[in-house]
Chains A and B, each alone.
Chain A
């Protein structure tokens, strides 16, 4: 069967895009292969590890398990959109650096996007809430202490990170 491509209109990191794609393209494939945004990582491809986490309309989702066409008309944010245009790091990125919250860094973009979505919804979570909301993001080398400390540091600041 010759499958017709479909038009996808989506806003990614503040920029509008309009592309023809195959219906079976996942959001992760679209971001990485069509837009060249390779921040979101491809790891388990099984909806388990969270390395592919991006934000769609304020919600953290696993991009490997969402069809790109399902985000038609929506707003997507990837780790590439986190720092400000002048290159100043987002407070979460800075905190991940300050607290040595990564080694290989493969899980980091996903963790940043999950924690960004969490803080946008609940700016001052306690440790239990942080642990609960970050459960969908696995790390195979650094472990889970440093990045929780990093997120806690941002969450405890009076100024809300945007």
Chain B
């Protein structure tokens, strides 16, 4: 690891001022669960590390019946997993978090750090996109809110400018007749996923017709993949097994996976099809019950 200056911060304002001063020469440090490895492997060597782990104003989970959920970027994976609020309002997030890395990494790693890593194998992004999540980005220049679906641009790359900090994740309140499901395929329980999906199905009040469908997958494209064609196929139609199978086939065709030690591209495409079929079916059943 190369040497760097270490700059601990206590407030968002302080962190923004420092990162706008150093820009590319600086790097934000949250839990370091991804960053420390990159530093150790000398894949990046910033001169200034701006530590935001002590910015307690970014560690919160709040819920309002009208506004929905507000989650600070420094909320740890473990806090999301264990939160009674999350378990009752957005149970899929708690379920998904159980599969993120190991307890040790979940204890120290943050949701903001996970998203900003831009790793397409990441589990939280597909779930938060399926829930129509938005994020708040802050810099000394401005403050903006963007859909999380527009955040990722390529492998390990996001729209974040070097002087910007992700501060908050926002979700709308849960709607009736909605089912959201996280499903994964991996060789070890909390290991790297070969494919995972988070799928949200919202039904009309007849509890048969699909009002909205968001099928999002990890590890099958350079960014979290939204299977748009598969979603569009479902919308406006009465859901049945044949339609679900057709949507799964479409979703699989929308993927653009690579081959690596965990699985070949062909294998990933096949798994994507099976997972999406199961996830849509389960989300549909869940939506009927709510």
Contacts and interface: CB of A to CB of B under 8 A. Distances in A.
Is chain A's binding surface mostly helix, strand, loop or mixed? Answer: mixed
Contacts of B39: 24
A61 B101 CA distance: 12
Contact of A61 (B37, B40, B107): B107
Given A1-B3, A66-B32, A133 B103 contact: yes
Given A23-B4, A65-B32, A70-B32, A136 B78 contact: no
B189 A135 contact: yes
Interface stretch (A11-19, A45-53, A149-157): A45-53
B37 A132 contact: no
Contacts of B8: 69, 72
A161 B101 CA distance: 27
A32 B5 CA distance: 23
A22 interface: yes
A60 interface: yes
Contacts of A24: 1-4, 39
A67 B29 contact: yes
A46 B41 CA distance: 9
B131 to A, nearest CB: 24
Interface residues of B, number: 31
A46 B40 CA distance: 9
A60 B53 CA distance: 17
A136 B209 CA distance: 43
A70 B190 CA distance: 26
A48 to B, nearest CB: 9
Nearest to B189: A135
B33 interface: yes
Given A24-B3, A136-B101, A66 B36 contact: yes
Given A1-B47, A136-B101, A65 B4 contact: no
A3 interface: yes
A26 interface: yes
A118 B78 CA distance: 13
A38 to B, nearest CB: 19
Contacts of B40: 45-46
Contact of A67 (B3, B32, B37, B188): B32
A45 B37 CA distance: 8
A26 B39 CA distance: 11
Interface in B13-68: 29, 31-33, 36-37, 39-40, 47, 49, 51, 53
Interface of B: 1-6, 8, 29, 31-33, 36-37, 39-40, 47, 49, 51, 53, 78, 98, 101-105, 107-108, 188-190
